[in-house]
Amino acid sequence: MLAAAGLDGETAFYTNLVKCRPLGNRPPTPEEVQACMPYLRRQIALAKPRHVLALGGWAAQALLGMEGELDTLRGAVHAIRTETGEEASVVVTYHPAALLLRPQHKADAWRDLSLLRSLVAASGD
């Protein structure tokens, strides 16, 4: 879906919220997320993205520093400020694993990717 939306490795930087996979593929604990956030913030500061795609509720909540259901965070453009003071837009969508389990959400995910694609096009990236 990313490639079809024109958001491939040339236009996007990919990373994970937590830097090691939790045992049993369980969701990360709040302590694990907190332990990894400085590393993630530094990665974002070094990569200097204008736009970030948050895949899943955990990533969205951690990046945006806010609670909220995934469906309430989707469909809007959010903003974060990097540790170097630069602003990046954030679009939230479903985690790929969630789409495998619930393919009915793929149309919503496509709308989210289209929103991100429009931001990329408008900024000339």
Q: What are the tens digits of pLDDT across the range 104-114?
A: 999 999 999 99
- Chain-centre distance of CA 56, in angstroms? 7
Q: What is the pTM of this model?
A: 0.91
Residue 118: band (very low, low, confident or very high) from pLDDT cuts 50, 70, 90: very high
Q: What are the tens digits of pLDDT across the range 18-44?
A: 988 888 888 889 999 999 999 999 999
**Structural domains of the chain, ranges and CATH numbers in brackets:** 50-123 (3.40.470.10)
Predicted local distance difference test score (pLDDT) of residue 125: 66
The burial class, CB within 10 Å (0-12 / 13-18 / 19+), for 74 is buried
Predicted local distance difference test score (pLDDT) of residue 15: 83
